[in-house]
Amino acid sequence: MKKRDLVIVGGGPAGMAAALTAHKEGVRDILLLERDQYLGGILNQCIHTGFGISYFKEILTGPEYAGRFVHRIRNTPAIEISLKSFVVHLTKDKVLTYITPGRMEVVQARALIMATGCREKTREMVHIPGTRPAGIFSAGLAQKLINIEGLLPGKAVVIVGSGDIGLIMARRFILEGAQVKAVIEIQKTSRGLKRNIVQCVQDFDIPLYFNHKIACIHGKDRVEKVTVCRVDDAFNEVDDSRFEIACDTVLVSVGLIPENELIEMAGVAIDHRTNSPISDAVNATSVPGIFVCGNSFKVYDLADSVTADSELCGRMAAIYLSRR
């Protein structure tokens, strides 16, 4: 079995920042595993601007922001990048099994940083009742279909959730010539950034309903309409508040959850409410030498914060390695 000083899983902004900082702090044997064929992670599909304002003091798009780190990492020979490398198994002793074209590899890490990002909560997790036709998308999937594949998921869209991804996708659909019928938010206020509410929703006169939820999705083969209702402070339906909106698409953008299934498999303590590792310090876990950074540690609003967090994590891993 091959042994490596530091293995980092995930080649998004978190994994790249952790790798670069660990290298700066003296770690010289680093393996970065990324399942996709590119580095950059989810930033590759975030073609809107708003990245880098605090870290680079510039306004960049997602791919531009990622591109700066990709460039740095490519110029750091001590960091070995292994793309199309999908980790399928992990043990408490930091033995990783991953699939890469043509073979399965096993590697033992002295220190391990997990930077696996997060996934979107689904319609199922928030129990939106109704039928299950085509036309129900997570916001991230719709974003990928439009921005990466050049496909239009629908023409009349209702968005559930007013977080930043939902808001940004509202504007994206408008720019593609689709209609955004409404943004439905169960809370009293939006979790999203003020600038996104103004630039993505208000500027396009999209109705934004606070204290509302979808009571039912209708449609046999494709979404046909949704029933919306008002909710009280306990999120229960208010009587006689139902109304319907005709649409062919429901976009679900109801929050993110850290992806920590691999470390959970390895026996790392996980808080089942948040899916984050239980630990006494930021980025640490219940298993010494296994660190978690970026959105897989905790969901951040901004990529810049992910970078800052992950630099700290790279430093922690370097200190851990130097003490052994």
Query: What is the binding site for other proteins (CB under 8 A)?
Result: 35, 84, 86, 88-89, 97, 99-104, 119-120, 122-125, 127, 129-134, 138, 140-141, 144-145, 148-156, 176-178, 216, 220-222, 224, 246-248, 261, 264, 272-273
Q: Which is nearer to other proteins, 246 or 319 (CB)?
A: 246
Q: Which is nearer to other proteins, 103 or 194 (CB)?
A: 103
Cα distance between residue 162 and residue 170, in whole Å: 10
Q: Which is nearer to other proteins, 22 or 182 (CB)?
A: 182
Residues 6+ apart with CB under 8 A from 175: none
40: which DSSP letter? S
Q: Are 228 and 215 in contact (CB under 8 A)?
A: yes
Q: How far is the CB of 292 from other proteins (least distance, A)?
A: 17
Q: Which is nearer to other proteins, 52 or 153 (CB)?
A: 153
Q: For the chain, what's the residue count? A: 324
Q: Which is nearer to other proteins, 197 or 299 (CB)?
A: 299
Q: How far is the CB of 138 from other proteins (least distance, A)?
A: 4
Q: How far is the CB of 13 from other proteins (least distance, A)?
A: 18
Q: How far is the CB of 144 from other proteins (least distance, A)?
A: 5
Q: How far is the CB of 150 from other proteins (least distance, A)?
A: 4
Burial 3-23 (b: 16+ CB within 10 A, else e): ebbbbbbbbbbbbbbbbbbbb
Question: Which residue is associated with the tokens 């074209």?
Answer: 101
Q: Which residues pair with 292 in a beta bridge?
A: 114
In the structure encoding, which two tokens stand for residue 287, read together? 């298993």
Q: How far is the CB of 223 from other proteins (least distance, A)?
A: 8
Q: Which amino acid is at 229?
A: C
Residue 85, φ and ψ in degrees, nearest 5: -120, 110
Q: Which is nearer to other proteins, 120 or 304 (CB)?
A: 120
In the structure encoding, which two tokens stand for residue 123, read together? 């319609």
